[in-house]
Amino acid sequence: MLTRKSKYGLKALLVLAEAPDQGPMLISELADRQKLPKKFLEAILLELKRAGLLHSKKGKGGGYVLGRKPTEITVGQVIRVLEGPLALTPCVSVTAYRKCDECLDEQACGVRLAMKEVRDATAEILDNTTLAGLNAQVARSSTRPEPRRGAAAPAPRARPEPGRGTRRKNQ
């Protein structure tokens, strides 16, 4: 489950990614725009800064800016910085592998096989979903007109692939 820490961090980064050339934004403005607790957000942004995903400027006109282009920051990177590995078990983690103590044979462990598949699918989506792509997806979804009251519902559309429109072009 996505923690509040990661959710708040992603929300703040998405605001900064909306206008990356606009200059630094104060924590108070980020907190107000997303209705986030300021003190908690301060701690989150500091972690993201330490990881190089954000830069900060002190003094008048100061605040936070993205450390890289919105097309270069992925949801997977943010979650790893704030939470650690994506894997649900250490024996399938790419970044923090550890053999499970109770496992006799990793290659024949059904739990490991299932968790590796989950990790791979999760990483595929999160590591190819960028801040820029998410903001573009939000912009597209918010421009769809709402159906009029009493009007017939529109015909169902084909369901897009998960993360469609949010994939990075080059890996």
Domain of residue 37: give its range. 4-66
CB 138 within 8 A of CB 34: no
Q: Is residue 83 included in any domain, yes or no?
A: yes
* Whether residue 51 is found in the same domain as residue 104: no
Which pLDDT score, from 0 to 100, does residue 59 have? 82
Same-domain status, 12 and 54: yes
Do 45 and 16 lie in a common domain?
Answer: yes
Lowest mean pLDDT segment, chosen from 81-85, 103-107, 112-116: 103-107
Q: How far from chain centre, in Å, is Cα 72?
A: 12
Spatial distance between the Cα atoms of 126 and 80, rounded to a whole number of angstroms: 10
pTM: 0.79
Whether residue 80 is found in the same domain as residue 112? yes
Residues 6+ apart with CB under 8 A from 151: none
Indicate whether 149 belongs to any domain.
Answer: no
Residue 142 falls within a domain, yes or no? no
* For residue 63, pLDDT beyond 80: yes
Domain total in the chain: 2
**Residues 51 and 87 occupy one common structural domain:** no
Task: Please check whether residues 50 and 79 belong to one and the same domain.
Answer: no
- Could you tell me if 60 and 80 lie in one domain? no
Task: Identify whether 139 is part of a domain.
Answer: no
Residues 93 and 114 in one domain: yes
87-104, pLDDT tens digit by residue? Answer: 999 999 988 899 888 888
CA distance 143 to 85: 35
Could you tell me if residue 132 is inside a domain?
no
